[in-house]
Amino acid sequence: MANYVVSEEFYASERGYGLVDQKMVEGETNNEKALNNGGWNLRSSFKGEYESCFATVSDGVKIVYDRQVLIYRIDVSEYGTYEVTVRGRADSDIRGMKIWTGRRNLVQDSMSLKEGEEYSKTFYTNVTPYIPALTSVPMMTKAIYICISGLGAIVRDIEVNRKDVPVIWIAGDSTLTDQNAGTPYYPYGSCTGWAQLLQAFVDGAAVSNHAHSGLTTNCFKDDGHWDIVRDRIKPGDVFVIQFGHNDQKRRNLSAFGGYKNNLEYYVDEVRKRGGRPVIVSPISRIPNCDDIEVYSLLEDYASACEMVAEEKEVPCIGLHKMTFGYWKKIGKASHDYFCRGDITHTNEYGARLAVNYIVEEVLDEDIEELSDYITGSNMVQILNPDSDTKNLPVETPEGGMFDIEMPYVDVDKNADYYEELSKGFKYGLFDPCVMHLHPEDEMPRAQLLMVLFKALRISGTRPYLGRFKDINKHEWDAGYIQTIVNDGIMDDETAGAECFRPDDALTVAEYSSFVVAGKYAVDKKKQEKNQKDSDSTFVVRSVDSKGVCNKHQYLNKMQAFDIAREMGVVDAVADSNAIITRAQCYIGLVRLMDILNVAEMELPDDVEVHPVG
């Protein structure tokens, strides 16, 4: 047993415990800093002396700066589960005190205390290796973080005991990962994964969240996260899995194909180790709407979860149905439950709603895998976003996720294409949250569109109007395909008469057709904007050296191939019928962006930039 009397003394590695000085936290990115700061980042708008946020009183250390968070670090000698007890006594009335552990995992919600009243909160936390976002290198730190928030909140001492208890392992994507938040703390502006709140419901077990931004059911295996869980899961542990948001952007992970197969794989592997799997259908984005219906792009993925649950006799929590129904019911008000300008990632209010739905279903359906540890007495409050301020501090922009070195483990730094791919990474063409770029793989036709639209800085269009029989409106790619139909970003031969053939490998000539037509479409929009701005007569003029009219739908793919070679986006010696690799596609698009001078423009509206700090 170790008991730590909390004082204002800051953490030092030689001592192994103490308050964390948020102004001294090390790290190249906000994400890295947050991992050394209990899941928090000090806001750039905070200009005060950090030491003045707290005061030593007779009963411990007290928060005296509104919305600031007290963070305490305790180093431990080994990985595993620990019993933690936090104690204190109020020296004045306290409202809304919260206790967090790990990477901003809530363990006690909105506690109110009267002056002189004591509290004691015991919970379990898991210390384990963790692969942070934006890197493949595991973080091996052995430390417990205890954080408290709320004006007047106070902590006197923390007791830590090594104790083996069951673990609830979490696998998933950005919608349930441990998201960073800023201090001072504003719930409306704090991106929050729902699994960050799960520990507050749990007695007798620890929650260990290995969900990550950008991950698919493949990436969780390929990038090393599954290895950490697989090597540590033991009989009686629970494995909660929720994917789908990123899987639907990969043609090989269709709902009833690769995605379903991977869910079955995890269920089987967890059971082999004596663990108990629970599937959660993906939380709904803010719904799409056309003239016929309000719909979700994740509906098939939710159905695949139910199918696996039935076939494998494993519990499935219907989070998708519950959240989709609620967003549909409240309409535009649903945006208050998400990060600003986002339709996928919830703020703390959205995460509270989601986790309460999950716990209600666990209890109503008596899902014993989780009901063994969850009781209704611990319900987290579902708060209306109007209950607190929506006016957030203005932050000074800091270095973003694309300012780091490329993290991909399958890109050789000595390869001829490394420099141009690095430029593409800086331009935001690639997802920095996954660890494999697959540069030598073939590029499928539909997969090209996602990165092409990033390069051109244009967005998809919904609803999809059904031009091709092999595309349906619920598919992620449908928005891109509707735009290329609307703007003529393809020739008739490349497009095909009835089928788009989204999964077919792309030839160099077909690639050329998309790239050249896309360039003309962007040029035309620029001309139209300039004409509108200048109120002069608009004349469509060609912009290529051959004088080809920019009514590009009349180009065939071989004409486009010739133009692409002249532009330099396709190598001069390229074979028009050869299958193009991802690296070749990316290099051509980097060169196209330089030609169009669009690299400094914002990414398209429908690009989901993962919030990783």
pLDDT digits (tens, 9 = 90+) for 157-189: 999 999 999 999 999 999 999 999 999 999 999
Could you tell me if 126 and 46 lie in one domain? Answer: yes
End residue of a domain, out of 105, 129, 164 = 164
CATH number of 109's domain: 2.60.120
pLDDT digits (tens, 9 = 90+) for 546-598: 333 344 455 788 999 999 999 999 999 899 999 999 999 999 999 999 999 99
Could you tell me if 364 and 278 lie in one domain? Answer: yes
What pLDDT score was predicted for residue 98? Answer: 97
Q: What is the DSSP letter of 404?
A: S
Q: How many domains in the chain? A: 3
In this structure, the number of other CB atoms found within 10 A of the CB of residue 498 comes to: 9
Query: Residue 50's domain spans which residues?
Result: 1-164
pLDDT digits (tens, 9 = 90+) for 472-508: 988 999 999 999 999 988 888 888 889 999 999 999 9
Residue 613 within any structural domain of the chain: no
Backbone angles phi, psi at 136, to 5 degrees: -105, 0
Residue 606 within any structural domain of the chain: no
Residue 612 within any structural domain of the chain: no
Half-sphere exposure of 430 (CA within 13 A, CB side): 31
What pLDDT score was predicted for residue 538? Answer: 34
In this structure, the number of other CB atoms found within 10 A of the CB of residue 349 comes to: 22
Given a cut of 50, whether residue 190 has pLDDT beyond it is yes
Could you tell me if 413 and 386 lie in one domain? Answer: no
d(CA 562, CA 542): 16
Q: What is the DSSP letter of 335?
A: G
**Residue listed under structure tokens 């007569």:** 537
Residue 494 within any structural domain of the chain: yes
End residue of a domain, out of 140, 164, 188 = 164
pLDDT digits (tens, 9 = 90+) for 196-209: 999 999 999 999 99
End residue of a domain, out of 367, 390, 413 = 390
Residue 605 within any structural domain of the chain: no
Could you tell me if 437 and 579 lie in one domain? Answer: yes
Residue 611 within any structural domain of the chain: no
The strand pairing partners of 206, in sequence order, are 167
Residue 396 within any structural domain of the chain: no
What pLDDT score was predicted for residue 397? Answer: 67
Element of type H or E holding 494: helix 492-495
Could you tell me if 434 and 481 lie in one domain? Answer: yes
162: exposed, middle or buried (C-beta count within 10 Å: 0-12, 13-18, 19+)? middle
Could you tell me if 267 and 156 lie in one domain? Answer: no
Residue 255 within any structural domain of the chain: yes
The mean pLDDT value of the chain amounts to 92
In percent, the amount of the chain with pLDDT more than 90 equals: 81
Given a cut of 90, whether residue 293 has pLDDT beyond it is no
CATH number of 305's domain: 3.40.50.1110
| Helix 319-330 and helix 348-364, axial crossing angle in degrees, nearest 10 | 130
In this structure, the number of other CB atoms found within 10 A of the CB of residue 136 comes to: 15
Backbone angles phi, psi at 415, to 5 degrees: -70, 150
Task: Over range 320-349, report the average pLDDT.
Answer: 96
Could you tell me if 377 and 488 lie in one domain? Answer: no
The confidence band for 537, taking pLDDT boundaries of 50, 70 and 90, is very low
Task: Over range 30-43, report the average pLDDT.
Answer: 93
d(CA 477, CA 250): 9
d(CA 548, CA 542): 6
Could you tell me if 510 and 559 lie in one domain? Answer: yes
Given a cut of 80, whether residue 145 has pLDDT beyond it is yes
Could you tell me if 133 and 228 lie in one domain? Answer: no
Could you tell me if 282 and 418 lie in one domain? Answer: no
Q: From the centroid of its chain, how far is CA 586?
A: 23
pLDDT digits (tens, 9 = 90+) for 237-254: 999 999 999 999 999 999
Could you tell me if 373 and 429 lie in one domain? Answer: no
In this structure, the number of other CB atoms found within 10 A of the CB of residue 600 comes to: 8
The confidence band for 396, taking pLDDT boundaries of 50, 70 and 90, is confident
> Model-level pTM?
0.94
Could you tell me if 113 and 2 lie in one domain? Answer: yes
What pLDDT score was predicted for residue 31? Answer: 86
